[in-house]
Amino acid sequence: MARGPEDERTFLEAFLREFPAPPGPGGPLPGKLRDARVAPDEVEGVLVELALTVLGSRDAPPRLAASLTRAAVDQLTPADPAAEEPPEPDPDDRVLLEAGPLQARFLSKLWDVCRQWRAPGPPAAPGRPLPISVHAIRNSRRKMEDRHVALPAFNQLFGLADEPERAYLAVFDGHGGADAADFAAAQLHVHLARHPDLGTDPAGALRAAFRLTDDMFLRKAKREGLRSGSTGVCALLAGPAVHVAWLGDSQVVLVRRGEALTLMEPHRPERQDEKERVEALGGFVSYVDCWRVNGTLAVSRAIGDASQKPYVSGEADSATRELSGSEDYLLLACDGFFDAVEPQEAAELVRRHLATSGGAEAGVAEGLVAAAREGGSGDNITVLVAFLRDPRDLLAGGEPGEAPVVFPGPSPP
């Protein structure tokens, strides 16, 4: 159900009751940045992530959260004192910004925007939402290294006035630590939104966003001595098409009338073309409990993994599929899910859940994660399901041709 102006005003009033004065450096902050210092080209991504986390954790309506975030980021101009200090160069002779002053100043801006918009508040989004079910667990691993992103109000978040409406979905599966997955989850969609070819070549823009994210993380890894990497799969819904891009073995599946359709082929070392690419660069692929690049990594493309570049490539693949309106949903998940559950099996599990729940999407992802655990997965598991038609229509066998689901949808986790 679309949420209207009353929901938005209710949220703003509740937020301002919780924080009757602007958050300051000396008082409690509703959220904080992950890193102690931030490079200038990382600022928009980390501030967007901070704002959406603060607002989403308080159940802000998604379009409102996106609009508040955009307004607060835009108000933090380069002339702002928090954006100018301290003058501490990194190994690449760039200036690093201290997180403390930056986050305090930004959260004060966010509070001020909430105060200004409390009455009457921005208009509600038209149409029906994009229903999303997402669930992630650490499982039997020592650490949780998966990250996921759902931005159904993509245009509002980045101030994009052009058509079509867009939604962005992503799953990142980190290894050797969560730093690369954290970085990609905060930065990749920013590079996508700012790419000049977003409107004319979305798939190309996605590939470029992966490339830039990898380059930026490698600089950060060098600066901070990080060794981690991350696979990633992203889907951009843009009008009557879905564009996907990926590195590694996280996957996206499109389900149409109950049938799971393959959109991509994961990057694994045993893939003949990937094996030949690695060997042509002077590396090797060997079997050590599974096929690995240079005897270490079980994926042949990833963000990060500085010690394994260029054998582990940061160049993403992409694909585009036109949508007819008969598609049911997109399923994005890490290998911890797909190693235990086949795509068509997942589609059948979703159908059973909808039959049991009366067409409610709540709990769909939880059921899929549970199936992967029961199927023997001990890895981190993340599952994100975005319905392209009302789930109740799927249960009833509704025919395409009725108004499709539109954006924005539920708040990003």
Residues 168 and 67 in one domain: no
- Please state, in angstroms and rounded to a whole number, the distance separating the CA atoms of residues 198 and 201: 6
For residue 304, tell me if it sits in a domain. Answer: no
C-beta separation of 209 from 315 below 8 A: no
Of 46, 207, 319, the closest CA to residue 198 belongs to: 207
Residues 44 and 85 in one domain: yes
For residue 293, tell me if it sits in a domain. Answer: no
- Please give the structure tokens belonging to residue 257: 């009338």
3-state DSSP call for residue 51?
Answer: helix
Residues 98 and 157 in one domain: no
- Please give the structure tokens belonging to residue 115: 């105060």
Q: Are strands 285-287 and 146-151 parallel, antiparallel or unpaired?
A: unpaired
Residues 6+ apart with CB under 8 A from 286: 292, 294, 295
- Please give the structure tokens belonging to residue 208: 């470029």
Write the burial class of residue 12 (CB in 10 Å: 0-12 exposed, 13-18 middle, 19+ buried): buried
At 348, which CATH number? 3.60.40.10
- Please give the structure tokens belonging to residue 2: 């679309």
Residues 93 and 212 in one domain: no
Instruction: State the number of CA atoms in the 13 A half-sphere of 44 facing the CB.
Output: 18
Note the pLDDT of residue 290: 93
C-beta separation of 378 from 343 below 8 A: no
DSSP 144-183: --EEEEEETTHHHHTT--SSS-EEEEEEEEEESSSHHHHH
For residue 406, tell me if it sits in a domain. Answer: no
Write the burial class of residue 338 (CB in 10 Å: 0-12 exposed, 13-18 middle, 19+ buried): buried
For residue 276, tell me if it sits in a domain. Answer: no
Note the pLDDT of residue 8: 87
Residues 33 and 61 in one domain: yes
For residue 108, tell me if it sits in a domain. Answer: yes
Task: Check residue 381 and give left, alpha or beta (phi > 0: left; psi -120 to 50: alpha).
Answer: beta
Amino acid at 261: L
For residue 352, tell me if it sits in a domain. Answer: yes
Q: What long-range pairs does 78-86 form, CB within 8 A, spacing at least 24? A: 80/105, 81/105, 82/106, 83/43
For residue 300, tell me if it sits in a domain. Answer: no
Residues 142 and 252 in one domain: yes
Residues 101 and 178 in one domain: no
Specify the number of domains making up the chain.
2
For residue 63, tell me if it sits in a domain. Answer: yes
Residues 216 and 356 in one domain: yes
What b-and-e string marks burial along 81-109, b requiring 16 or more CB atoms within 10 Å of the CB? Answer: ebbeeeeeeeeeeeebbebebbbbbbbbb
Residues 180 and 37 in one domain: no
Tell me, yes or no, if the pTM score tops 0.85.
yes
Residues 225 and 332 in one domain: yes
Amino acid at 42: E
Residues 113 and 175 in one domain: no
Residues 142 and 99 in one domain: no
Note the pLDDT of residue 413: 35
- Please state, in angstroms and rounded to a whole number, the distance separating the CA atoms of residues 350 and 260: 11
Note the pLDDT of residue 321: 97
SS (H, E, C) 271-304: CHHHHHHHHHCCCCEEECCCEEECCCECCCECEE
3-state DSSP call for residue 412?
Answer: coil
Compute CA 246 distance to the chain's CA centroid, rounded to the nearest angstrom. Answer: 12
Tens of each residue's pLDDT in the chain, 413 residues: 445 667 888 999 999 999 888 887 666 778 889 999 999 999 999 999 999 999 999 999 988 999 999 999 998 865 454 444 444 555 555 689 999 889 989 999 999 999 998 866 555 555 457 899 999 999 999 999 999 999 999 999 999 988 899 999 999 999 999 999 999 999 999 999 999 999 999 999 999 999 999 999 999 999 999 999 999 999 999 999 999 999 999 999 999 999 999 899 999 999 999 999 999 999 999 999 999 999 999 999 999 999 999 999 999 999 999 999 999 999 999 999 999 999 999 999 999 999 999 888 999 999 999 999 999 999 999 999 999 999 988 876 655 544 444 444 443 33
Write the burial class of residue 41 (CB in 10 Å: 0-12 exposed, 13-18 middle, 19+ buried): middle
> What domain range is 335 assigned to?
132-265+315-395
- Please give the structure tokens belonging to residue 157: 């978040």
